Amino acid sequence: MVVFTVVWTVLGFFNVGYTLYDTVIEGYSPIHQPISGLGLGSTALAMNTAFVLYGLFSVAGAVATSRLLGAVDARLARPTLVTLGLYGLGGILVGLFTLESMELHSLGFLGVLAPIVGFFVLGRRMAPHTELATLGRSLVRVAVPLSVVLLVVFFASFNPEAAGEGRGIAGLTQRALIIDLQVWIGLVVVAAVRHAGSRSRSLGG
């Protein structure tokens, strides 16, 4: 997650513009334009490769995390796999289909947003378990409302024409949303690993 964030942050300084549907966008700004803009122009290969690799690692992480949490409670396995897996698959689609393939690209973006719903289900099922209760309640009471607010703010601030003309703050609002989701996903993964570790130690002891 950290590496992926560093990649799109650094590439933002190297993209000098791109062409979208025969419209030339001169210059790229992380303030005005979404991350997907880096998938076109001079940074296209690097950004799209990063999207796909990040998605693949996320899917692999989803499988591993679902198994760890499934060992705690079988009811945790499926929502974990679906929530984190769709997030990863969304990243792969975004990398394979750029803004010039808008329908499939948008489908990928919806996959990236899957955790907003998944956090609610996962959090509710974590709540009865002492070691996971705090995170479970946080997912339901903090992660979901915060992510919904950030999503609404992003859509309210996003205007394709304004972004192409270097106006607005859609780039910032989208990045805030993506970082928010990454942080909560990271907390779920860390909790699963820590719980598996403590469980192994207790069994070993």
- Whether residue 76 is predicted with pLDDT greater than 60 in this model: the reply is yes
Q: Residue 23 — φ and ψ, nearest 5°?
A: -100, 125
pTM of the full predicted structure? 0.91
- Asked if 180 and 171 touch (Cβ cutoff 8 Å), the reply is no
Q: Distance between CA atoms of 42 and 27, rounded to whole angstroms?
A: 11
Q: Distance between CA atoms of 145 and 162, rounded to whole angstroms?
A: 28
170-199 pLDDT per residue, tens: 999 999 999 999 999 999 999 999 887 666
Nearest to 46 by CA among 11, 71, 21, 5: 11
Q: Provide mean pLDDT across the span 121-147.
A: 95
7-56 pLDDT per residue, tens: 989 998 888 888 888 788 888 889 999 999 999 999 999 999 999 999 99
* Sequence spans of domains, the chain: 2-204
Three-class SS state of 22: coil
